[in-house]
A and B are shown apart, each in its own frame.
Chain A
Amino acid sequence: MEVNPPKQEHLLALKVMRLTKPTLFTNIPVTCEERDLPGDLFNQLMKDDPSTVNGAETLMLGEMLTLPQNFGNIFLGETFSSYISVHNDSNQIVKDILVKADLQTSSQRLNLSASNATVAELKSDCCIDDVIHHEVKEIGTHILVCAVSYTTQSGEKMYFRKFFKFQVLKPLDVKTKFYNAETDEVFLEAQIQNITTSPMFMEKVSLEPSMMYNVVELNTVKQVGEGVSTFGSRTYLQPMDTRQYLYCLKPKPEFAEKAGIIKGVTVIGKLDIVWKTNLGERGRLQTSQLQRMAPGYGDVRLSLEAIPDTVNLEEPFHITCKITNCSERTMDLVLEMCNTNSIHWCGVSGRQLGKLNPSSSLYLALTLLSSVQGLQSVSGLRLTDTFLKRTYEYDDIAQVCVVSSTIQVEG
């Protein structure tokens, strides 16, 4: 057995080049005035330079396209495009050429070749070209495996492969935060950070709500009938910049009734993000389903349906409460009203509210007055479930502003 077998040259050469978008050539303008020593020489040199803009030579950003100079970075959601060229370097005709391009990720292997047909023959100095595209869906190491098999003139079957390894990085960092409003609305705050190295134009950031919700985007401000973005004229994110998007989710009417009794984890929807970079290089990502923990309301939820914001001192006012049975069983409720330092309830305490089935609710009109001026907290409601002898306390339900009656209360 030979220790050093002679190295055999392949007749075909395989070349691969990633096709990121081309870039625009920039030049360094150096100008002078006609009275200066070079006269119009500098300006003439710039005029004759094909990479300057005709008629505006001082403009740095030219029109000349240049091919990508290196592999660059590739991010999740972008499209990996690559030129694959197999060239016959020899001076003989090569037959039955098969070029295969596969992409190996950590979880799967994809065939990217446009066609898997064998090329019957390739003359000297000719080449087989293929441009492959693949939307990158996994993070981490990818290996482009290009395999070429062919038959030489002498009938020898030849085969070689090349591996091209690259890393797919994460382009965005997304953080979310939920706010639960008293009214069953949910506000979603999403912070999206550009963790790539280039400016990123955010073409679309939208929340696709789950079936239970309708969504209102709160990222534009109405001005003179036109929606103006809250981000102003800055339509792009610089590297490491973060933008905050705000959405309001309202339960659809058919779910609204049940909303009060939604417990535990609920699916809100997902964010759909489309961005563009250099010369329209496009990327798109969706988040996983956003979930939120519904606030716990205990067995009985008491929410306010109506309350005045400002009331007169020592004058009775009305509030409407909604009581919902969030438990799995029927309740028999008794309402007690306890006065506090400032809040005095009117009416009978300890009255029976009757039976309340699971997931049903009842409305309660109550009258009270305040003996102290200022911002007062409405407290002191007690509900007792006579079946289980369990008492639920409701304090700080809402706040009202109490003013002296000599001041006219508006509205």
Chain B
Amino acid sequence: MTDEILMTQSTMEHVEGSDQNINIKEESLPSEVEDRSVIHHVTEEEQGQLLFHEETIDLGGDEFGSEENETISEDSNNFIDKLNEHMMESVIISDSPNNSEDDTGELGCLQDIVETAEDKSDHSLEQVLDKEEIVTLSNESETDHDDTPKDISDMTSDSRTSLKEELTQEETKDESMFENEGTVQSVPSDNKTNSQEQMSEISSSQSSKDDPIPVCTIFSQSNQANSQPQLFLHDGFEPQMVKSPSFSSASETSAKTPPQVVQPSPSLSKFFGDTVNTNSLASDFFDSFTTSTFISVSNPNAGTSVPEKLSSLSTPLGESSPDSADPSYPMGIERSESGVSTASLETSQSPKPFSQIQAVFAGSDDPFATALNMSEIDRRNDAWLPSEETRNVLISVATQQYSTVFIDKENLTMPGLKFDNIQGDAVKDLMLRFLGEQAAAKRQVLNANSVEQSFVGLKQLINSKNWRAAVDLCGRLLTAHGQGYGKSGLPTSHTTDSLQLWFVRLALLVKLSLFQNAEMEFEPFGNLDQPDLYYEYYPHVYPGRRGSMVPFSMRILHAELQQYLGNPQESLDRLHNLKTICSKILRNLEQGLAEDGSMNNITQENRHASVQLWRSRLGRVMYSMANCLLMMKDYVLAVDTYHSVIKYYPEQEPQLLSGIGRIFLQIGDIKMAEKYFQDVERVSQKLDGLQNKIMVLMNRAFLHLGQNNFAEAHKFFTEILRIEPTNAVANNNAAVCLLYLGKLKDSLRQLEGMVQQDPKHYLHESVLFNLTTMYELESSRSMQKKQSLLEAVAVKEGDSFNTQCLKLG
């Protein structure tokens, strides 16, 4: 609404510039409503002492409602865009003579004003306009006039009850289905990252590897403590070169620490610890990637059904690392396989440190030997139940290792980047626009070029909240893997790491609210159940390893994404599928079987760990369902589902009960909210601690808010601040209460104080949104203050910052 006011002011010029339009509009306004004020005005004009200045601002809400008719779950950016667009539009409309007809009869007072002004002096319209600035921001053409009594005329014994306060006016029916406030907002999180730490970690893990391979270490060999000389496949008859990370962890586990419950997989930890790259220039990697891309593009086989060579991944061709790279090795494997889009084994570069040991078993048909190699942790985490169709393919791959298995191209996963580069820094763009080039030049954020082209660099970007750059880096690493831009639909093969990269990229896109982009790139993955996404599909690369390469979190993401795209029903369907499989796995475990239902001896300890893992995964699925139902505004089911989440995460009971209470508060059911808040107090009585105390106070504050008692709510938020002065929520909420109590300046002081005191934590989208809204309410000079916020943001925030909340646009 303050926006609109600003709008109005910005339109003054328009108004002055287009006298005829205004003229038409004003003449079309009849003059019944405000006789009094007009008379008043005339006398003042005659006195000639007062400067008369009027504005009319239409706050009509109908448009908002109908606007939202289109989709519920427009992502927040779009939504804000839409709002902005909308406002722009309405301003234009008000200037146009055509649309002004809609206002006929609505603003009776205005014509009078004009007339009186004209009476006074026969000068041109400009002067009139100068005095009277009338801007109507809404046209009501969207309201449906319908004579409701007709509706019920067919019901003979019905009598229609008219609302007492109803006027004789025609009823306006707002047909929009969706609530204005119910917008889903994207929240790029706001925390500070610790790139320093990250860097030191890198340097400390410098290894003493003999031949430094400054290459694309991501996909190439290892330099772990136990790393052996990197072996490369020189011909197709040595598939054993492929290392299985599972083997290593298994042996370690059995030897030393028994329950190694959750640990980064060896392959990943290797990358994180990998330091060879730190010395190498990022540009080297970049060059090497481009080179390799180029090669794979020019590969004559790529277009055919021959599996695409992925050698470029581990062995970027060209200058970077001639010694480690043998670009020809994958060919050997291909020869051995001779398959048409069969399991492509050229993923030999998969950097599992224990491939050499694995080689002993590789090639043997003995399932027991290979089964032994499966690490407990891998099996537990990767377990998944393929569909019948996929299972059959996997069985045939397993049983016909030397002959070709034909698989329909449609059943293969052939992802590729769908857009090249989303790199950009909206903060910097805004700085250029408002603060000038000099200020913008000071803005320094990490980008994909300024970090190591590896998982280390990737983590650094994520941690420093430069998610756009991180998305780009994921893209580069995937390009190196042969799944770059334009590669969608081309045969490829998958590794644990390539799927992890995809997961990170897609997750970041979702975090950035770029849902459409995420959807596009998710599409080739289908339902994440294609045979080539299972380890069994690559018996030579991952001998004996079973289960899905797709991280469980990626499945969750895949399901959740749909709700942000406006298909919550599809989200629920996918989540129910996940739930079914998780439950089946749990049942298998309870029945003494392995996760996938096979007969497998699992120690009691491992079984327990597995049950725990899968229960928590099932809980995570339920969480997503509840969130999705909440978005769908199916509050009854959402509340039920949150209740069932408590079973899986009992430690979150107070938070979940509070959350349910807030849901009831949102609906307006204050009594139920109170009941839940009381439950929280009962539950948290047993649990001591500051956090529970704060939660109880927070709930009480919310309850007062629901009872329209802002003063009391403010008291409770302030009480939280006494216990924990840095509590961002309490600070922000206390400030909001102050505004409703008519204390704008106090409210501003509180918010500004918290932002200045700890910008690291408080430069949050929601806080800044509130702050800028108050600036707009405070004075006409909000722009200046918003710009200084921008400066603060520029110092602290990465490229993922959502600049919309600054309302500078």
Residues of A within 8 A of B667 (CB): 199, 201, 235-236, 276-277
Q: Which of B52, B61, B107, B123 has the most CB of A within 10 A?
A: B61
| Cα–Cα, bound, A18→B706 (Å) | 18
Q: Which of B279-287, B335-343, B363-371, B655-663 is the contact stretch? A: B655-663
Would B169 and A139 count as touching, CB distance under 8 A?
yes
Residues of A within 8 A of B556 (CB): 31
Would B507 and A32 count as touching, CB distance under 8 A?
yes
Residues of A within 8 A of B381 (CB): 33, 35
Q: Does B631 contact A (CB under 8 A)?
A: yes
| Cα–Cα, bound, A52→B185 (Å) | 13
* Given A32-B503, A73-B180, A288:B164 Cβ within 8 A: yes
* Given A10-B53, A49-B191, A66-B766, A235:B262 Cβ within 8 A: no
Q: Does B118 contact A (CB under 8 A)?
A: no
Q: Does A61 contact B (CB under 8 A)?
A: yes
Would A34 and B262 count as touching, CB distance under 8 A?
yes
Would B777 and A1 count as touching, CB distance under 8 A?
no
Q: Which of A8, A24, A59 has the most CB of B within 10 A?
A: A59
Would A33 and B553 count as touching, CB distance under 8 A?
yes
Q: Does B189 contact A (CB under 8 A)?
A: yes
Residues of A within 8 A of B459 (CB): 38-39, 41
Chain B: minimal CB distance from A317 (Å): 34
Residues of B within 8 A of A149 (CB): 50
* Given A31-B556, A35-B381, A48-B189, A70:B127 Cβ within 8 A: no
Would B655 and A238 count as touching, CB distance under 8 A?
no
Q: Which of A55, A130, A138, A277 has the most CB of B within 10 A?
A: A55
Residues of A within 8 A of B765 (CB): 51
Would B777 and A195 count as touching, CB distance under 8 A?
no
Q: Does A279 contact B (CB under 8 A)?
A: yes
Would B663 and A61 count as touching, CB distance under 8 A?
yes
What string of 1s and 0s marks CB contacts (under 8 Å) between B610-638 and chain A? 00000000001001100100110101100
Q: Does B761 contact A (CB under 8 A)?
A: yes
Would B60 and A158 count as touching, CB distance under 8 A?
no
Would A37 and B501 count as touching, CB distance under 8 A?
yes
* Given A61-B663, A141-B106, A236-B667, A287:B163 Cβ within 8 A: yes
Contact of B123 among A3, A22, A129, A156 (CB under 8 A): A3
Would A137 and B743 count as touching, CB distance under 8 A?
no
In chain A, positions 301-348 with a C-beta closer than 8 Å to chain B are none
| Cα–Cα, bound, A176→B157 (Å) | 9
| Cα–Cα, bound, A238→B633 (Å) | 8
| Cα–Cα, bound, A137→B179 (Å) | 22
Chain A: minimal CB distance from B439 (Å): 25
Closest to A77 in B: B165
Q: Does A267 contact B (CB under 8 A)?
A: no
In chain A, positions 231-260 with a C-beta closer than 8 Å to chain B are 233-236, 238-240
Would A279 and B666 count as touching, CB distance under 8 A?
yes
In chain B, positions 168-183 with a C-beta closer than 8 Å to chain A are 169, 171-174, 176-183
Residues of B within 8 A of A17 (CB): 1-2, 5, 773, 777
Q: Does B412 contact A (CB under 8 A)?
A: no
A-B contact count (CB 8 A): 475
Would B691 and A55 count as touching, CB distance under 8 A?
yes
Would A165 and B780 count as touching, CB distance under 8 A?
no
Q: Which of A70, A125, A238 has the most CB of B within 10 A?
A: A70
| Cα–Cα, bound, A238→B511 (Å) | 30
In chain A, positions 63-80 with a C-beta closer than 8 Å to chain B are 63-74, 76-77
Q: Which of B44, B497, B642, B666 has the most CB of A within 10 A?
A: B666
Q: Does B434 contact A (CB under 8 A)?
A: no
In chain B, positions 352-372 with a C-beta closer than 8 Å to chain A are none
Q: Which of A177, A197, A238 has the most CB of B within 10 A?
A: A197
Q: Does B652 contact A (CB under 8 A)?
A: yes
Q: Does A83 contact B (CB under 8 A)?
A: yes
Would A280 and B707 count as touching, CB distance under 8 A?
yes
Would B636 and A233 count as touching, CB distance under 8 A?
yes
What string of 1s and 0s marks CB contacts (under 8 Å) between A4-37 and chain B? 1101101001011111111111111111111111
Contact of B164 among A26, A190, A234, A287 (CB under 8 A): A287
Q: Which of B208-216, B294-302, B734-742 is the contact stretch? A: B734-742
Q: Does A299 contact B (CB under 8 A)?
A: no
Would B60 and A49 count as touching, CB distance under 8 A?
no
* Given A3-B123, A15-B2, A17-B777, A127:B744 Cβ within 8 A: yes
Q: How large is the interface on B (under 10, 10 to 19, 20 to 34, 35 or more residues)?
A: 35 or more
Would A74 and B61 count as touching, CB distance under 8 A?
yes
Q: Does A181 contact B (CB under 8 A)?
A: no
* Given A4-B126, A31-B620, A50:B761 Cβ within 8 A: yes
* Given A66-B769, A201-B668, A37:B268 Cβ within 8 A: yes
Would B777 and A176 count as touching, CB distance under 8 A?
no
Q: Does A275 contact B (CB under 8 A)?
A: yes
Closest to A7 in B: B130
Closest to B773 in A: A67
Would B778 and A15 count as touching, CB distance under 8 A?
yes
Q: Does A387 contact B (CB under 8 A)?
A: no
Would B148 and A33 count as touching, CB distance under 8 A?
no
Would A70 and B180 count as touching, CB distance under 8 A?
yes
Closest to B740 in A: A19
Q: Does B225 contact A (CB under 8 A)?
A: no
Q: Does A42 contact B (CB under 8 A)?
A: yes
* Given A139-B169, A143-B107, A176-B158, A166:B500 Cβ within 8 A: no
Residues of B within 8 A of A162 (CB): 54-57
Chain B: minimal CB distance from A333 (Å): 32
Would A50 and B53 count as touching, CB distance under 8 A?
no
In chain B, positions 292-338 with a C-beta closer than 8 Å to chain A are none
Chain A: minimal CB distance from B334 (Å): 28
Q: Which of B34, B59, B465, B767 has the most CB of A within 10 A?
A: B59
Q: Which of A167-175, A222-230, A378-386 is the contact stretch? A: A167-175
Closest to B781 in A: A89
Closest to B137 in A: A165
| Cα–Cα, bound, A83→B110 (Å) | 24
Closest to A276 in B: B668
Would A83 and B742 count as touching, CB distance under 8 A?
yes
Contact of A288 among B59, B162, B497 (CB under 8 A): B162
Would B57 and A164 count as touching, CB distance under 8 A?
yes
| Cα–Cα, bound, A255→B103 (Å) | 53
* Given A7-B130, A198-B181, A279-B706, A236:B172 Cβ within 8 A: no
Q: Which of B226-234, B400-408, B441-449, B725-733 is the contact stretch? A: B725-733
* Given A165-B59, A170-B163, A201-B668, A26:B185 Cβ within 8 A: yes
Contact of A45 among B44, B189, B631 (CB under 8 A): B189
Residues of B within 8 A of A126 (CB): 745
Would B766 and A175 count as touching, CB distance under 8 A?
no
* Given A33-B553, A197-B174, A44:B191 Cβ within 8 A: yes
Contact of B668 among A24, A176, A203 (CB under 8 A): A203
Q: Does A58 contact B (CB under 8 A)?
A: yes
Would A167 and B50 count as touching, CB distance under 8 A?
no
* Given A61-B663, A66-B766, A286-B164, A198:B2 Cβ within 8 A: no
Residues of A within 8 A of B778 (CB): 15, 85, 87, 127
Would A104 and B742 count as touching, CB distance under 8 A?
no
Closest to A132 in B: B742
13 contacts between A and B (CB under 8 A): A33-B262, A34-B262, A34-B263, A55-B655, A60-B630, A76-B165, A107-B167, A143-B34, A143-B109, A165-B138, A166-B60, A198-B182, A239-B177
Given contacts A32-B551, A64-B764, A141-B107, 13 further A-B contacts (CB under 8 A): A22-B705, A48-B189, A50-B767, A68-B181, A69-B181, A72-B180, A104-B34, A126-B745, A143-B109, A170-B171, A197-B179, A270-B164, A279-B706
Enumerate chain A interface residues (CB-CB to B < 8 A).
Answer: 1-5, 7-8, 10, 13, 15-39, 41-42, 44-56, 58-74, 76-77, 83, 85, 87, 89, 104, 106-107, 109, 125-127, 129-131, 137-141, 143-145, 149, 156-167, 169-170, 172-178, 190, 195-201, 203, 233-236, 238-240, 270-271, 275-282, 285-288, 290-292
